[in-house]
Structure 1
């Protein structure tokens, strides 16, 4: 996928502020915070902010009686960048330091095929999920189908079946760490031109609406452990 923006420092500042306030608010009474750790799919590249995945997800959850705060970390091109954000950036470290009342949606790996072999993608995601598990942060692992061009990428040991192994990776990791799984971010949208942008890859605003509708029950399940009493 095309890189559209780097980490949003406005979003990071917002996350820092919220984490900093955690000690002043009873975590059991505060609305949960959803952190979206992902690439241009979940960050709605090419879609105006008022129609984005995060905006529609927040509206859908509010309508269902689940007030939330959603923090978009910003565009993270690869699983390696996602791991770096969580393990080394201040805001990732702040999340680890104040994990109460937070959940994380992890949607990474799509861009790795041209940069990182599958074993390294798996290792990066495994480490991300391990860190979040250690902090007892509920996680929804969101998989994606491998891009068409990934089929021809020589990834050590997976040349012939990269797409199949790539898709299986998400379910295997979710099972390993006891996380929830949404197998394919673009379920119901892939191949439907009216729901995709001109690149025939990224969802448009209508596509994001479909994705949110399909994913909403799983996000409600993700929030269940941190709902206010």
Structure 2
């Protein structure tokens, strides 16, 4: 068998394998106040499957979690055999006005530990509430693009793109998306997720 033919068969086998992803996040991932099937991970999984991409996405979202909380549960939240992680944390850090330096340190620790396990990361960014002042917003907002650049990560700049501040797509608290809001998030992030999946190393 020629080397090129063997490579083609390997790629075909990899394409047929179900990819295992973990969405590690807070209430925006967990699906706060929504039916389980309406949360971000299952809705994204369904959208990818409709495109013919075999994928399973574990919902590792915990409402109220800060970056530190995600770091503390990282090892048991992301099982062995995981092909990639969608990392959506930091919103609660900003809502609580935590030092952006600590948020950055925690996110970097998560990324570093996952990379050490050979697990690629798609980093979902967040913006700080503007009522915390321009200096805080500048420091916080810079965390995600800078981490993505320094670690070579696929970045989705703002997880709430298209729904932030939209009363029709958010629950009454204006912090958590409705089921329709989740569908908008998935529609917007889908091309970035597909690009992320195309970068995952082939496994048998």
TM-score, length-scaled by structure 1? 0.75
The residue aligned with 2:83 is: 102
The residue aligned with 1:128 is: 110
Is it true that 1:117 corresponds to 2:99 in the alignment? yes
Conserved? CA contact 1:185–1:211, under 8 Å: yes
When residues 131 and 172 of structure 1 are mapped into structure 2, their CA distance, relative to the original with a 3 A threshold, is same
Conserved? CA contact 1:142–1:184, under 8 Å: yes
Unaligned runs of 5+ in 1: 1-26, 153-159
SS in structure 2 of the partner of residue 42 of structure 1 = helix
The residue aligned with 2:72 is: 84
SS in structure 1 of the partner of residue 23 of structure 2 = strand
Name the structure, 1 or 2, with higher relative contact order (CA <8 Å, separation 6+): 1
What is the RMSD of the two structures over their aligned residues, measured on CA atoms?
A: 2.1
Tell me which moved more, 199-208 or 115-124: 115-124
Pairwise CA distance, 1:219: 0.9
Pairwise CA distance, 1:74: 3.1
When residues 112 and 219 of structure 1 are mapped into structure 2, their CA distance, relative to the original with a 3 A threshold, is same
Q: Deviation above 6 Å: which 4+ runs of structure 1? A: none
When residues 39 and 67 of structure 1 are mapped into structure 2, their CA distance, relative to the original with a 3 A threshold, is same
d(CA) in 2 for partners of 1:74, 1:188: 21
d(CA) in 2 for partners of 1:131, 1:123: 12
Pairwise CA distance, 1:147: 2.9
Pairwise CA distance, 1:135: 2.0
d(CA) in 1 for partners of 2:29, 2:60: 10
